[in-house]
Chains A and B, each alone.
Chain A
């Protein structure tokens, strides 16, 4: 038994919930710049965990480490009890980690439906041969997955834009389609990078509702980066605060809000 899995076990027993993902002493550098230095925190199964911090705090880098886009120089990540030093994006996706991006990263030439269908890639197993023929089992499979995708489309209330190429959609809807694509992967852990950025109040309320429903109805664990403090306080069970690549606070929204370090980071310190 390694040291890490022991810490995971103890944390789990003290909280009364199980840890889905734990980040241990992760350091990530680009050349001489430290994007993340020695950060540890965990995400419990079934919770909504917010990651907040001023611009350049290392929040997005953190998500990129979790889903395998970046490989940290030090530290490790344990997911579902398994510890990996380096994880590839493909492995992350196939073990149930989905994500959305800060600047919407959709397949802009494809329709809403095709974008969300692309999230089913890993669930579809028929090989190249059957697909090339486009008959029999491959066709049957396509139909089954289509049905699941239609459910997501209903859930996100985007039936009216089903056939439209996403490049032409308004920003708020694009964000919704992106969420749909991530949902199509039936993830256990969903990473949302600023899901409400650039939205108006109504769109934010819709998105908050989707995130909450996704968490309660589908049981999806969610880690989200968000700048709107109101949203964070409403949604999150626990919040971790980063500043200049370091963790400065970790706790419930109320605890974090009254933490002096956090107030200093956001408002600046009088010198």
Chain B
């Protein structure tokens, strides 16, 4: 009886006492969680863009992040100035989008979703192989400062302690917010944005008003290529650019399950919940489990969602009329 109440206290009350006894640490943890959350949200956004427009679950999103970052860094290492390398990388992502649409999607129109998923798994292997062939397998450091991003940090004195803000994290948050806002505006205010939403809603009806599916697909793949590039730069700046980055895309899967596969706001909110949640859990509950909880927190959360709300927080519940 005594042991149980100690256990309950340790799990349900002690972590909150810890949080309030050191508020500066709490702010630090939430901030770091927020930044990872923003990056998860960006990767999830890349998935959502493609899934909405073409019902393709793009398994290659993770490797696209790595690929974009590798192209950028390698171009710089070959002696191309950073700004030009950035423009060229955007061009490469555009070419990649066009060739994926031409070579893969166009041949697989109207196939089952599982077939399209398999195609993107194949695509993952091809991009990975090509990346290793051209750029080698060893980790590279991101050209953060060369791109004009500060690597310093600022301290904020608060609650008798300090909270440290890495400038790169601030930049990541600001850029991610700008990108999301720009995408939202583009979707709601322009012809192509409207066409995108139309395609997401009803393929046949979209075709009947003369919207070209091929064009829309190339555009969404390009857009998610750009999102991948930004994620690659930001994530690469925090660690290194290596093929191991690919696995952060798996975290984005959990984000998608939380947010719903078709919802842009869902990707953002889901990303923040996973990012902040896993950091808090690691710091305050981690010791109970002997640490390392950050690695599985997202998936357990996703599992709970799958049990009780499989369409996610913002996803559309599919009811088919027969």
In the bound complex, what is the Cα–Cα distance between A122 and B193 (angstroms)? 14
Interface size class of A (residues with CB under 8 A): 35 or more
Q: Tell whether A254 is near chain B: CB-to-CB under 8 Å.
A: no
- B198 touching A93, Cβ below 8 Å: no
In the bound complex, what is the Cα–Cα distance between A108 and B200 (angstroms)? 10
Contact with B along A98-122 (1 / 0, CB 8 A): 1101010111111000100111111
Q: Tell whether A267 is near chain B: CB-to-CB under 8 Å.
A: no
In the bound complex, what is the Cα–Cα distance between A174 and B59 (angstroms)? 37
In the bound complex, what is the Cα–Cα distance between A184 and B210 (angstroms)? 12
Which of A93, A98, A124, A182 sits near B191, CB closer than 8 Å?
Answer: A124
In the bound complex, what is the Cα–Cα distance between A67 and B206 (angstroms)? 13
From B72-80, B85-93, B182-190, B271-279, give the one contacting chain A: B182-190
Q: Tell whether B207 is near chain A: CB-to-CB under 8 Å.
A: yes
In the bound complex, what is the Cα–Cα distance between A184 and B194 (angstroms)? 14
B46-93 at interface with A (beta carbon < 8 Å) = none
Count of chain B residues with Cβ under 8 Å from any Cβ of A? Answer: 25
B189-216 at interface with A (beta carbon < 8 Å) = 189-195, 197-198, 200-202, 204-212
Please give, as numbers and ranges, the residues of chain A lying within 8 Å of B191 by CB-CB distance: 117, 120-121, 124, 126, 131, 142
Please give, as numbers and ranges, the residues of chain A lying within 8 Å of B44 by CB-CB distance: none
Q: Tell whether A176 is near chain B: CB-to-CB under 8 Å.
A: no
Residue of A nearest to B209 (CB): A119
Please give, as numbers and ranges, the residues of chain A lying within 8 Å of B207 by CB-CB distance: 69, 89-90, 93
In the bound complex, what is the Cα–Cα distance between A67 and B208 (angstroms)? 8
In the bound complex, what is the Cα–Cα distance between A108 and B8 (angstroms)? 49
Closest CB in chain A relative to B9 CB, distance in Å: 48
Which of B189, B212, B219 sits near A134, CB closer than 8 Å?
Answer: B189
With A118-B209, A131-B192 already in contact, the answer to whether A105 and B186 are too (CB < 8 A) is: no
Q: Tell whether A33 is near chain B: CB-to-CB under 8 Å.
A: no
Residue of A nearest to B182 (CB): A132
With A101-B205, A131-B192 already in contact, the answer to whether A90 and B210 are too (CB < 8 A) is: yes
In the bound complex, what is the Cα–Cα distance between A184 and B219 (angstroms)? 24
Residue of A nearest to B190 (CB): A131
Residue of A nearest to B321 (CB): A103
Residue of B nearest to A94 (CB): B210
User: Which residue, of B189, B197, B208, B212, has the highest number of chain A Cβ atoms within 10 A?
Assistant: B208
A124-167 at interface with B (beta carbon < 8 Å) = 124, 126, 128, 131-132, 134, 138, 142
Residue of B nearest to A127 (CB): B192
Which of A107, A117, A132, A184 sits near B205, CB closer than 8 Å?
Answer: A107
Q: List 26 A-B contacts (CB under 8 A).
A: A89-B208, A101-B205, A103-B321, A105-B202, A105-B205, A106-B205, A107-B205, A108-B202, A109-B200, A109-B201, A117-B194, A118-B194, A121-B191, A121-B195, A121-B198, A121-B210, A124-B191, A128-B192, A128-B219, A131-B190, A131-B192, A131-B193, A132-B190, A134-B185, A142-B190, A142-B191
Besides the contacts A110-B198, A122-B210, what 12 more A-B pairs have beta carbons closer than 8 Å?
A89-B210, A105-B204, A105-B208, A108-B201, A109-B200, A110-B194, A117-B194, A118-B206, A118-B211, A128-B192, A131-B190, A182-B209
